[in-house]
Structure 1
Amino acid sequence: MKIGIICGSQRVKSQTSKVGLYIQQTLNSQDVNTFLLDLGKQPLANFDDSFWYEKQGSLQTAWQPIAKELQSCDGFIVLTPDWHGMVPSCLKNFFLFSSAAEMANKPGLIVAISASVGGYLPVAELRISSYKNNRICWIPDHIIVRNVKLCMNDTNPPENQDDIYIRTRLQHSINLLTEYAKALSAVRNSQVADYKTYQYGM
């Protein structure tokens, strides 16, 4: 089992990155392999149509090592901060690069990050607009880490009841994600999907 973790903040040092590292450590402690892509530390250039027409161009050259890692993943955890009620542009840009080759019929868990009590609008945005062509399968569960500065810090025991709750709730959703990953492997192995003929979703 291998899970890709996409940290969708453009900041080099972010609360999103902090939570992403916590998730990676949690998965690794359960003998789950991980691939972590932090878009603040490893930014992608802005997508444009040269990606399609220049097979040896700079965009393809930068994307191919990431694509190879994504292709080897069985599922994904995508973290987004709440910026003015929106998903940051770097994460939207990531989904412009991604295709069915990397993500089709693999489960995804959305984890939204809020410094206060927001976070629900980026969840809705990802569910509406990010899956059409890459065919990622968002699972029904999602997580919103509110008041994130008080959660998932390097403290033992956790700092407060909200921190304890969100950690246990996150573990529940991770458990669901890994079961979805096992189940959806049957869909991928069936080869029923014809994404050469139907490359784009409707």
Structure 2
Amino acid sequence: MTATKIGIIIGSNRKISQSGRIAEFVHSLINNLQANVSVDLFSVRDMNLPLWSEEKWQSNSSLVDLWKPFSSRLKECDGFIVISPEWAGMAPPHLKNFLLMCDGGELAHKPGLLIGVSSGFGGAYPVAELRMSGYKNNFLWWLPDHVILRHVESLFVEEPPTKLDVNMTNRLNYSLEFLVETAIAMAPVREKVQNLATYKHGM
């Protein structure tokens, strides 16, 4: 049986970020969840993508050549986890730029779990922003459930885990299981119905 592959997209471009730490924690949860699931990590900082431009639509452009290896890896994934910090009440521009680049079917009709990260009481605005505009031409299919990790610096750092750590770990496991099972269920639907050649752009 072919392994289900989940891509984890780290939306922060900071050298040391809480989003990156949470990505590693989520990776470990997925490894414990099911044996037949693999993970590919995508960091917008490490990808170092230029701003989207119309060169993305020109087959012989340097931007297309730069994007190809990332595109190939993304297309191999069956579902995604998008981890977004909140900067001034917004999703980071590097993350939005990454989602703009995914206009070649890389994310299309694959389930996506949103995880908002906040150092304080926030985290909801990037989730709302990405739900509203982060899917249109890439067709990423946001799951109805999402997770917001508030006061993230104090989460998953103590041993033994705090009561909040245990509660949030249980919530993450619940959402991750939904993501994996939805990814498995959607694969034959995409194969049967998806027609990006005719319907390339969302309405």
Cα distance between partner residues in 1 of 2:44 and 2:103:
18
The match for 1:176 is 178
The match for 2:23 is 20
Instruction: Tell whether the 8 Å contact from 1:8 to 1:39 is kept in structure 2 after alignment.
Output: yes
The match for 2:194 is 193
Provide, for residues 107-126 of structure 1, a one-character-per-residue CA deviation record: whole Å limited to 9, x for no partner. Answer: 00000000011011110001
- Are 2:20 and 1:8 equivalent residues in the alignment? no
Q: Give structure 1 regions of 4+ aligned residues with deviation exceeding 6 angstroms.
A: none
User: Mind listing any 5+ residue stretches in structure 2 that lack a counterpart?
Assistant: none
Provide, for residues 69-97 of structure 1, a one-character-per-residue CA deviation record: whole Å limited to 9, x for no partner. Answer: 11011100000001111000000000110
TM-score by length of structure 2 reads 0.93
- Are 2:82 and 1:75 equivalent residues in the alignment? no
Structure 1 residue matching 2:41: 3-state secondary structure: strand
User: Mind listing any 5+ residue stretches in structure 1 that lack a counterpart?
Assistant: none
Q: Deviation at 1:141?
A: 0.6
Structure 2 residue matching 1:66: 3-state secondary structure: helix
Q: Deviation at 1:185?
A: 1.2
Instruction: Tell whether the 8 Å contact from 1:8 to 1:90 is kept in structure 2 after alignment.
Output: yes
Cα distance between partner residues in 1 of 2:133 and 2:93:
13
Instruction: Tell whether the 8 Å contact from 1:3 to 1:73 is kept in structure 2 after alignment.
Output: yes
Tell me the amino acid that sits aligned with residue 55 of structure 2. Answer: S
Tell me the amino acid that sits aligned with residue 35 of structure 1. Answer: D
Instruction: Tell whether the 8 Å contact from 1:5 to 1:77 is kept in structure 2 after alignment.
Output: yes
Q: Deviation at 1:41?
A: 2.7
Q: 1:48 aligns with which of 35, 53, 58?
A: 53
Cα distance between partner residues in 1 of 2:86 and 2:135:
19
Tell me the amino acid that sits aligned with residue 147 of structure 2. Answer: I
Q: Which residues in structure 2 correspond to 1:1-202 (within 5 Å)?
A: 1-29=4-32, 30-31=34-35, 32-53=37-58, 55-153=59-157, 155-158=158-161, 160-190=162-192, 192-202=193-203
* Percent of residue pairs identical: 41
Tell me the amino acid that sits aligned with residue 168 of structure 1. Answer: N
Cα distance between partner residues in 1 of 2:13 and 2:73:
21
Q: Deviation at 1:28?
A: 2.6
Tell me the amino acid that sits aligned with residue 77 of structure 1. Answer: I
Q: Deviation at 1:100?
A: 4.9
Cα distance between partner residues in 2 of 1:143 and 1:151:
13
Aligned length: 198
Structure 2 residue matching 1:173: 3-state secondary structure: helix
